[in-house]
Amino acid sequence: MLSYRHSFHAGNHADLLKHLVLLALVRKLGEKDKPFTCLDSHAGAGTYDLQSANALMNAEYESGIARLWRQPVKSSLLQDYLHCVEALNPDGELHYYPGSPAVARWALRERDRLLLLDLQQEEVDLLRAHMRGDARIAIHQRDAFEGLLALTPPDPRRGLVLIDPSYEQKADYQRVVDCVHKLHRRWPVGILAVWYPLLGEARDRSEWLKKALQQERLDALSCVELTVSPQAPEFGMHGSGMLLVNTPWQLERVLEDALNEVLPRLGTDVHFSIETLSESE
């Protein structure tokens, strides 16, 4: 069994990017009256206690969500993101942080659906407790890559998939490429959002992943990256990225407005980029 637990990293800079992009996508889907389905491949516990022993071990949230907490922002996307976090912390103290399932659920409407996948028993038990009583949500304890293919195309057919493995195993990179290839052919209208880490030079595979997905000739492929420090020679994660298939119209502008506000709050050596890798056919 793999050892990864997201509770050690909840609320860090990578979560900030992933959840801003996820929320922006869900908001775009919500602009139309028709219902949609959101799928999360590695859902985790759903909600995280930032005062737990795991979270406090490295206190990664202090260089992420804590830099934005209770700060005035202009971007409507950032405002919604902070409202989502505030909903878990009604006393005004930053104690809990929403994982991807909680971010998506916060933005769902009554007719929308959320399908959550995770394989680890401990995480699934916590996820069921955190999502209890919401008829819009279904939780599946199964392998993410197998499960996504089994559950798509979903009903409602409009929607998105968040694919965010831990990449503990190098094979995950190829599994992501294979999964995206199959998903796009099974569900051509689905928005696919792939998170990936930016690692030390000796271990980084982000460029390989981007080139591999470019070769798949995917529709409206784009890339968003956020870095918070220079790349190290070998170890460490200096940033992260999101690869998007079927990128919604004008999403880049929404993300650019939000990230321009984020940069000065995260530090002095923080950068983001948004790149179009392929156009819509």
- Residue 94: CATH number of its domain: 3.40.50.150
What mean pLDDT do residues 215-235 have?
Answer: 92
Q: How confident is the model at residue 196 (pLDDT cuts 50, 70, 90)?
A: very high
Angle, helices 251-266 vs 76-87, to 10°: value is 70
Catalytic residues: 164
- Inform me whether the pLDDT recorded for 72 exceeds 50: yes
Q: How far apart are CA 163 and CA 4, in angstroms?
A: 16
Contact in structure between 252 and 274 (CB atoms under 8 Å): yes
pLDDT band, residue 260 (cuts 50/70/90): very high
Is the pLDDT confidence value at 5 over 50? yes
Give residue 173's Cα distance to chain centre. Answer: 16
Mean pLDDT for the stretch of residues 138-160:
97
Domains: count for the chain: 1
Mean pLDDT computed over 141-153: 97
Query: Could you tell me the pLDDT band of residue 281, with boundaries at 50, 70 and 90?
Result: low
d(CA 20, CA 30): 15
Residue 54 maps to a domain: yes
For 49, counting Cβ atoms within 10 Å of its Cβ (0-12 exposed, 13-18 middle, 19+ buried), the class is middle
**Residue 217 CB neighbours (<10 A):** 11
Across 250-263, average pLDDT: 97
In a domain, 196, yes or no: yes
b/e map 180-216, b = 16+ CB within 10 Å? bbebbeebeebbbbbbbbbbeeeebbbeebbebbeee
Average pLDDT over residues 72-83: 98
Over range 243-257, report the average pLDDT. 97
Position 281 in a domain: no
Q: State the pLDDT at residue 29.
A: 98
Residue at 240 is within a domain: yes
23 found inside a domain: yes
How much is the average pLDDT of 115-122? 96
Q: Is residue 1 part of a domain?
A: no
Decide if pLDDT at 56 tops 90: no
Is 103 inside any structural domain?
yes
The angle formed by the CA atoms of residues 222, 25 and 199, to the nearest 5 degrees, is 50
Kindly report the average pLDDT of the chain as a whole number.
94
pLDDT at 1: 41
Range of the domain at 239: 6-276
- In 3D space, the residue among 201, 170, 168, 184 whose CA is nearest the CA of residue 243 turns out to be 184
Res. 38: pLDDT tops 50: yes
Residue 130 lies in a domain: yes
Residue % of the chain over a pLDDT of 70:
98
pLDDT band at 2 (very low <50, low <70, confident <90, very high): low
DSSP 232: P
